[in-house]
């Protein structure tokens, strides 16, 4: 029987050593420097995704954009929106290869460069075809950047901050969305085409941030170890996780566990994508990764993310300026509640956070449906106000779950299949989003409030799936979490070294035979 997360964490020698560290990250100069470069280099990825959704929302209330593209509606508007996600689906087969062959940093650089090209074409668009093509290119770049950035954050962060930083990575979506909402509101009164071209051009800002800061970020130690560069990996871990102290007991145990585990994983897993289906544990991981991606888009959020103007039109809020103001206010609210959700990652169990979020979304979406039906049948203005209120109540629930997306995927997949796991989540995220972006405007146009009933039923299904299939993962290290899925057959190395160092630390003797060697040879010999 597979142990649970609490049992693994309690027995973990690495976690026991970690508990001795009482110094906060902001009092560690090297770790502080790492975060000051890592955060802007990686968070800009999701900012681009958030900017895209919000800017298209805002442009639907900008009259020059509507006039220039002949007031797109229904299926055409759906295609314009969905092109971003369709581009991401095309990138799916290549992203894991790029991450595992050339590294996390190169993947971020490639993705950012592709996004640059897409933004330039979108800004210069002269017809609908060119606009749609630009969005396909934007979508093509996003998975490369997200795949590299999410793993860099998880694999470079000090374990105590990993959950919060990975959560903030996903929540940075709303930083981009808020920027887009503010820009489109600022250009709302312009009567020329720069009222939509400037907001389009500003989408280049997050990628520019990434390309500036990524060069100051070290490569993932786990990637370096997988490529036979253990000495470089040990140097990075010692510099940032022990402030340069190469004799630090925690870093030596951490390195030993990572190196031995990756070595055994790479020897055991040599079938590429087939590895994801080879064992019961990997099949369960792949199913969860698909669910995480699909559920993140099929929980009703897609209606507001790209079609807030349509939702507001359906309850009688027709003024374009008011729609843009509501959009900006909602994005700011999402950013605040999203940061709060990220901080919860440090104190709440993953299952608790997931189930609270989805149960809350289900209840509020049912209320949202009822209020919309009431307005459609009676024209009651109080019901219209209730719909807006439900939207603002729905998002704190959604944003409780959102920070877990990449946090959870990084935790459930071992190094050897992590890039592929993230790619599965990305594929289902983009496919689900693309389907929704195409179908939602058609559903809203033809079914009005009745379209919401589908999401009421689907949210119930999502909640049941999470309750049945999602295990708890909070506590253990990334390497140790394999035991939850693979049980006694889990590939976790370096425990003998960890035990020796743990005992050493408890006796308050910070060196043993050969611990004073100036490189990682001691660790390699012991493993």
**DSSP, residue by residue, 452-511:** HHHHHHHHHHHHHHHHHHPPP--SS-TTTTHHHHHGGG-----HHHHHHHHHHHHTT---
Structure-token match 């055409």, residue found: 76
| CA dist., res. 400 & res. 357, Å (int) | 6
Parts of the chain with a pLDDT under 50: 496-501, 504-505, 507-527
| pLDDT given at position 490 | 64
- Please report whether residue 136 resides in a domain: yes
| pLDDT given at position 509 | 43
- Please report whether residue 412 resides in a domain: yes
- Please report whether residue 423 resides in a domain: yes
Reference 458, options 303, 282, 286, 284; nearest CA is 303
- Please report whether residue 517 resides in a domain: no
Where does 122-249 show beta strands of DSSP type E?
A: none
| CA dist., res. 112 & res. 378, Å (int) | 49
| CA dist., res. 417 & res. 432, Å (int) | 22
| CA dist., res. 124 & res. 120, Å (int) | 6
Residues whose CB is less than 8 angstroms from the CB of residue 50 and which lie 6 or more positions away in sequence, other chains included: 172, 173, 174, 175, 176, 177, 178, 180, 331
Q: Measure the CA angle with vertex 334, ends 331 and 335; round to 5°.
A: 90
| CA dist., res. 470 & res. 354, Å (int) | 9
- Please report whether residue 502 resides in a domain: no
| pLDDT given at position 488 | 66
| pLDDT given at position 158 | 92
- Please report whether residue 197 resides in a domain: yes
pLDDT tens-digit readout, 169-214: 888 888 888 888 888 888 888 889 999 999 999 989 888 888 999 9
| pLDDT given at position 323 | 83
| CA dist., res. 94 & res. 102, Å (int) | 12
Phi/psi class of residue 190: alpha, beta or left (left: φ > 0; alpha: ψ in -120 to 50)? beta
| CA dist., res. 135 & res. 80, Å (int) | 8
Contact 293, 428 (CB under 8 A): yes
| CA dist., res. 411 & res. 446, Å (int) | 42
CA distances from 406 to 147, 403, 426, 434, 479 (A): 9, 7, 10, 19, 16
How much is the CA Rg of the chain, to the nearest whole Å? 24
| pLDDT given at position 391 | 92
CATH number, position 386: 1.20.1250.20
What is the three-class DSSP state of 303?
helix
- Please report whether residue 236 resides in a domain: no
CA distances from 267 to 58, 226, 247, 270, 413 (A): 51, 11, 29, 7, 16
Residues whose CB is less than 8 angstroms from the CB of residue 450 and which lie 6 or more positions away in sequence, other chains included: 373
Number of domains making up the chain:
1
- The range of the structural domain enclosing residue 203 comes to 5-219+260-489
What is the three-class DSSP state of 237?
helix
Reference 72, options 318, 309, 304; nearest CA is 309
- Please report whether residue 439 resides in a domain: yes
């Amino acid at each position: 029987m597979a142990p649970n997360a609490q049992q693994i964490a309690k027995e973990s020698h690495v976690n026991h050593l970690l508990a001795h560290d009482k110094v906060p990250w902001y009092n560690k100069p090297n770790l502080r420097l790492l975060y000051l470069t890592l955060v802007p280099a990686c968070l800009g990825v999701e900012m681009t995704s958030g900017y895209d959704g919000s800017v298209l929302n805002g442009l639907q209330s900008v009259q020059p954009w509507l006039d220039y593209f002949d007031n797109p509606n229904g299926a055409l508007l759906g295609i314009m929106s969905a092109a971003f996600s369709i581009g991401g689906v095309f990138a799916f087969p290549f992203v894991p290869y790029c991450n595992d062959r050339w590294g996390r940093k190169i993947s971020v650089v490639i993705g950012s460069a592709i996004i640059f090209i897409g933004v330039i074409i979108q800004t210069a668009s002269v017809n609908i075809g060119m606009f749609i093509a630009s969005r396909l290119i934007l979508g093509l770049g996003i998975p490369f950047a997200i795949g590299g950035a999410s793993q860099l954050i998880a694999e470079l962060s000090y374990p105590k901050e990993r959950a919060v930083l990975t959560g903030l990575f996903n929540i940075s979506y709303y930083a981009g969305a808020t920027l887009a909402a503010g820009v489109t509101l600022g250009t709302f009164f312009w009567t020329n085409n720069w009222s939509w071209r400037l907001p389009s051009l500003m989408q280049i800002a997050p990628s520019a941030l990434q390309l500036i800061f990524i060069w100051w970020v070290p490569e993932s130690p786990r990637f370096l170890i997988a490529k036979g560069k253990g000495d470089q990996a040990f140097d990075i871990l010692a510099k940032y996780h022990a402030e340069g102290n190469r004799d630090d007991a925690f870093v030596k145990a951490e390195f030993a566990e990572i190196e031995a585990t990756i070595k055994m994983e790479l020897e055991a897993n040599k079938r590429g994508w087939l590895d994801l289906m080879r064992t019961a544990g990997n099949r369960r991981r792949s199913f969860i990764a698909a669910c995480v991606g699909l559920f993140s888009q099929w929980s009703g959020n897609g209606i507001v993310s790209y079609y807030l103007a349509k939702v507001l039109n359906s309850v009688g809020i027709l003024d374009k300026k008011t729609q843009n103001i509501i959009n900006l206010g909602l994005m700011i609210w999402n950013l605040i509640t999203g940061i709060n959700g990220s901080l919860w990652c440090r104190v709440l169990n993953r299952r608790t956070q997931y189930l609270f979020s989805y149960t809350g979304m289900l209840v509020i979406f049912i209320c949202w449906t009822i209020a919309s039906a009431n307005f459609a049948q009676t024209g009651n203005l109080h019901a219209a106000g209730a719909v807006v209120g439900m939207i603002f109540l729905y998002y704190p629930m959604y944003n409780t779950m959102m920070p877990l997306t990449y946090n959870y995927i990084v935790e459930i997949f071992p190094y050897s299949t992590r890039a592929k796991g993230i790619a599965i989540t990305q594929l289902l995220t983009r496919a689900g989003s693309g389907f929704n972006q195409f179908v939602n405007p058609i559903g809203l146009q033809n079914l009005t409030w009745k379209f919401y009933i589908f999401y009421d039923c689907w949210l119930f299904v999502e909640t049941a799936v999470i309750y049945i299939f999602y295990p708890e993962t909070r506590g253990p290290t990334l390497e140790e979490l394999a035991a939850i899925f693979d049980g006694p057959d889990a590939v976790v190395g370096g425990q003998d070294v960890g035990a020796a160092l743990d005992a050493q630390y408890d006796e308050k003797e910070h060196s043993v035979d050969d611990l004073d060697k100036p490189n990682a040879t001691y660790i390699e010999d012991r493993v």
